[in-house]
Structure 1
Amino acid sequence: MTGLRERRKEQTRQRIIAVATRLFTERGFDAVTVNEIAEAAEVAKATLFAYFPSKESLALQGVGEDDLAGVVLRRAPGQSPLQALRAHFRALADGQLATLDRDELVARMRVIFDSPALSGAANALLYQQRRALAEALTEEYGEPVAALMAAQIAATLLTLQESFFHHLAGDAAPEEAARVLAGETELAFDLLENGHQHRLHHRKGQ
């Protein structure tokens, strides 16, 4: 019974997202009301808010939600933060990204790009994600280095995501876009780790 209830909740959640994405795409984020989304999704307004606390949170599903700090803090003994992050994003490229709904994702990203308010909110979420990552790195590397590392990692990951969306928007199949992302992820973390090793060598030499 619990499993059935959870499946129904997830189906309702996905239906709300799909309906909201369609309405945002057709009319723009600002022109659509929460009442219209709830009515089109055939749920009560209170039910919609039980899944999404605001219209912005509905439009920004997935933005800044990747728990980078958690990946670092939960890494295996002997594994460096960059190794843990590389393994995490390698698994994403090899797994769920290859099976996503391309049209829905592209539509949602265009809604965000077309709305200054949503773009600003997305940047705020990404900033919070970067600050949490910096805190997770501070114990091992110290505050100044941790902040710089987090900034470099966040900028690299944002570039990878932009490249992935660019390939999807250019009509690449999710499997192909994920394959390209996998290769770019390895290159990106090679560059990050080389710079990281250089900084460690520099610190030891001081």
Structure 2
Amino acid sequence: MAADSPSLSGPLPEAHLHGPLAAAQPPLGLRERKKLKTRIAIRRATYRLIGEQGYEATTVEQIAEAAEVSPSTVFRYFPTKEDIVLTDEYDPFMETALRARPAGEEPLESLRLVMKQAVAALLEHEPEEMRQRARLMAEVPAVRARMSETMAETSQLLSRVLADRTGRAVDDLEVRVFTAAVMGALREVTIHWAERDRQDDLVALVDRAIDTLKGGPSL
């Protein structure tokens, strides 16, 4: 990252999300805001150090020093270095936005709109982190492997929402397969974007991916 230090003065997710992603989100209490600021400080320090010296050369001890916290604090918030790179604050907002979609809307269209909102917000408010994260997903095997796990966690969260919306059980196979397919598409979109030097319109790529799930590749 280009920043000289992990500043906490930038916009926080609850302040800069708009539209469905911000709907019905209660304000954070003081304790929660402090935790959020700590997570953001650790992430920004990590991205800055990785940008300067590379992923493998960056240690948790260096991250802790740059973020002005202890290594144990880093591990308390992020079990692995890969988690620092991949974790963001958007899952709760996506859950709320998905629950707010019209009841009669097709699930695929609901997920399309929610994911486009999330991607657009990340690109607007955390563009360098988003670009660096995508590059690491494409280039670092450990990050790519952990990405599959974190996306599975997000898929489970969104599956619960879709199960509620459709009146199906939480462990319904069709709901799980459907949501996992959409999250898998988002994974491939992100890697494709990174492999093409992040020059394409990422939101438009999400649209293309959802269209492909809907009708398959054009012949």
> Do both share a fold (TM > 0.5)?
yes
The 5 Å alignment of 1:22-101 reads 22-62=48-88, 65=91, 72=98, 75-93=101-119, 95-101=120-126
Quick one: distance in 1 between partners of 2:158 and 2:136?
27
The answer to whether the 8 A contact 1:24-1:111 is kept is: no
Whose relative contact order is higher, 1 or 2, with alpha carbons under 8 Å and at least 6 apart? 1
CA RMSD of aligned residues (A): 3.9
In the alignment, which residue of structure 2 is the partner of 1:106?
131
For the structure 1 residues 134 and 98, does the alpha-carbon distance in structure 2 shift closer, same or farther, using more than 3 Å as the test?
closer
Quick one: distance in 1 between partners of 2:148 and 2:89?
9
Task: Give the residue type in structure 1 aligned to 2:78.
Answer: F
Residue 172 of structure 2 is aligned to residue 121 of structure 1: no
Quick one: distance in 1 between partners of 2:78 and 2:110?
30
TM-score scaled by length of structure 1: 0.63
In the alignment, which residue of structure 1 is the partner of 2:204?
183
User: Residues 142-199 of structure 1, C-alpha deviation per residue, up to 9 Å, x if partnerless?
Assistant: 84433442343223222333344456x34x4xxxx5xx3343444443444457xxxx
Quick one: distance in 1 between partners of 2:190 and 2:76?
29
Task: Give the residue type in structure 1 aligned to 2:182.
Answer: I
TM-score scaled by length of structure 2: 0.60
Percent identity over paired residues: 28
Residue 146 of structure 2 is aligned to residue 146 of structure 1: no
Specify every segment of 5 or more residues in structure 1 that has no aligned partner in the other structure, as ranges: 196-206
Specify every segment of 5 or more residues in structure 2 that has no aligned partner in the other structure, as ranges: 1-27
Quick one: distance in 1 between partners of 2:147 and 2:54?
16
Task: Give the residue type in structure 2 aligned to 1:16.
Answer: I
For the structure 1 residues 3 and 67, does the alpha-carbon distance in structure 2 shift closer, same or farther, using more than 3 Å as the test?
closer
> What number of residue pairs does the alignment pair up?
185
- Aligned with 2:88: secondary structure? coil
User: Residues 32-84 of structure 1, C-alpha deviation per residue, up to 9 Å, x if partnerless?
Assistant: 33222111222233443454344332122239957767655554322232232
In the alignment, which residue of structure 1 is the partner of 2:16?
none
Quick one: distance in 2 between partners of 1:65 and 1:129?
7
Quick one: distance in 1 between partners of 2:41 and 2:139?
23
The answer to whether the 8 A contact 1:72-1:81 is kept is: no
